[in-house]
Amino acid sequence: MAQRSKWGTNLGFLFAAIGSAIGLGNIWRFPYVAYDNGGGAFLIPYFVALFTAGIPILMLEFALGHHKEASAPMAFKHIDSKWEWLGWWAVCFVLFGISLYYIVIISWCGNYMFFSLTHAWGDDPNTFFFCEFLKVPFNQTLQAPAVESVWDITGFRWPIVAGVVVIWLINWLITYGGIEKGIERAVKIMMPLLFIITAAIIIWALFLPGASKGIKHYVTPDFNKITDLKVWISAYGQIFFSLSLGFGIMIAYSSYLSRNANIFKNSLIVAFSNSFYEVCAGFGVFSILGYMATKQNQEIGEVVSSGIGLAFVAYPKAISLLPFGQLFGFLFFLLLMIAGISSSISIIEAFTAAIMDKFDVPRRPVITTICVLGFLGSLLFATNVGLLWLDIVDHFLNQYGLITVGIVEALVIGWLYRTDKLKAHIVSNLGLSGTHHKVFNYVVLQLWMYCIRFITPVALGIAIVHSLIQEFSESYSGYPISGVIVLGVGWLLITHIIAFELSGLPWKVERTTKSE
């Protein structure tokens, strides 16, 4: 077997891991989730979730990948061969599910980056985005997509297809070069650029008229919501999805670290960097919304929106109102593209590492095959009903796929493999001795082990049960049952079957990890 690739520097690893964590959701999802779940008060369950689930699972995945020097499937195989499927399922539904539509969204951002220069959306960004750009079938009131039209495919949206070609090509170029000369070199350019553009946008937004009005709505605490179970579920969900947990990415990335890497320190840096970024991004987002509300003499509640509506409807409205709006819009959508690409390359690498570990094949043919198949898969979401398909698939993969992986991962590592082995591995690279070693081992890592075995599985279990109760009470967002079963449940089942098939194939080289 060829020698395993390594990061050139620990900084390169940190940039790559932070780049994977910081994605589109940090910019367009977190601010609305915080606003809708108690504003400043939401930070209480958010940071509880960070310390009891986010950091523990992130440290578990870093330690597992580093300890075993393996991708997710190989790492779980060396725990017990019957759990190899778990590693395969994570990398399969993330690559052949999440990344397929994620890259389509990045394509939207690329198109809008150039639309910003001409304000192509005109006076009605909502109609332009849904009816002219996406060509989504709308209901008779023209207020929302007609979800019953999920199967009414009329053709591809060629501007989106063109963007998908470019984004997959960029992903191919970066990952084709390998870890040090490809991904590390790219993130050392992309991440500083991401932080610079983000800082520029936030500073610009903070000095706009009405910015304080928006910030007030963003941070004003509503402590009455703290007792609402949904708020806590939202906090754990945001942390889990935001840190790319359950993707198999962090296991693969940490497997390329040098043997003396400080796993504990790296986990804290990545986790806090991600949280700091999305909290700060919220100030920029709500400053803009406050400016919009002031200019249009409206309340914040009338201009705020979540997710796709924020990025492609609310922000274009703001861009049309802003001085130098063309430049602001170009930078904003460039920011989204950089955040998206830094995440998508990590998804490709997680699957690539798994294939290379299992079949001992060269990187470049694997990368090329993955990118070609990925491009073809993304075309499924580049039609006029792509938004509807995206919504269903995203809901089921995130609500059930990722959370299930997180629960099983915590139970397998915490109870079957025992976290004691990973504890010893983490401590071995801290450089502690005597009293400090004992304090860290018996206080910090005991709390970590307790979170992995009890708090994380219970919290994620409550979240998945809550989702299932809602699922059985009514069809998701009113979609026809055929769409929910075929696109939602079907996508989960197919990737699950593929994972079991891959785990059943023989390993070309039975490699024993150095840790063993």
Is the pLDDT confidence value at 104 over 90? Answer: yes
Long-range pairs for 494-498 at CB < 8 Å and ≥24 separation? 495/89, 495/92, 495/93, 495/96, 495/97, 495/401, 496/89, 496/93, 498/88, 498/92, 498/96
CATH numeric code, 10-504: 1.20.1740
Average pLDDT over residues 246-266: 94
Out of 78-92, 185-199, 426-440, which region has the weakest mean confidence (pLDDT)? 426-440
- On average, the pLDDT of the chain sits at 91
pLDDT of 142 reads 56
Are 495 and 93 a contacting pair, CB within 8 Å? yes
Query: Model confidence at 310, in pLDDT bands (50, 70, 90)?
Result: confident
pLDDT of 512 reads 55
Give the domain ranges of the chain: 10-504
Measure the CA–CA gap between 516 and 507, rounded to whole angstroms.
Answer: 18
Instruction: Characterize 336-361 residue by residue with b for buried, 16 or more Cβ atoms within 10 angstroms of its Cβ, and e for exposed.
Output: bbbbbbbbbbbbbbbbbbbbbbbeee
Is the pLDDT confidence value at 53 over 80? Answer: yes
Query: Model confidence at 115, in pLDDT bands (50, 70, 90)?
Result: very high
Q: Say what percent of the chain tops pLDDT 70.
A: 94
Long-range pairs for 329-333 at CB < 8 Å and ≥24 separation? 329/112, 329/113, 329/115, 329/116, 329/117, 330/113, 330/114, 330/116, 330/117, 331/197, 331/200, 331/201, 332/116, 332/201, 333/109, 333/110, 333/112, 333/113, 333/116
402-456, pLDDT tens digit by residue?
A: 999 999 999 998 888 776 778 788 877 776 655 666 666 667 778 888 899 999 9
pLDDT of 168 reads 98
Average pLDDT over residues 370-392: 97
pLDDT of 137 reads 87
Give this prediction's pTM: 0.94
Is the pLDDT confidence value at 363 over 90? Answer: yes
Is the pLDDT confidence value at 323 over 50? Answer: yes
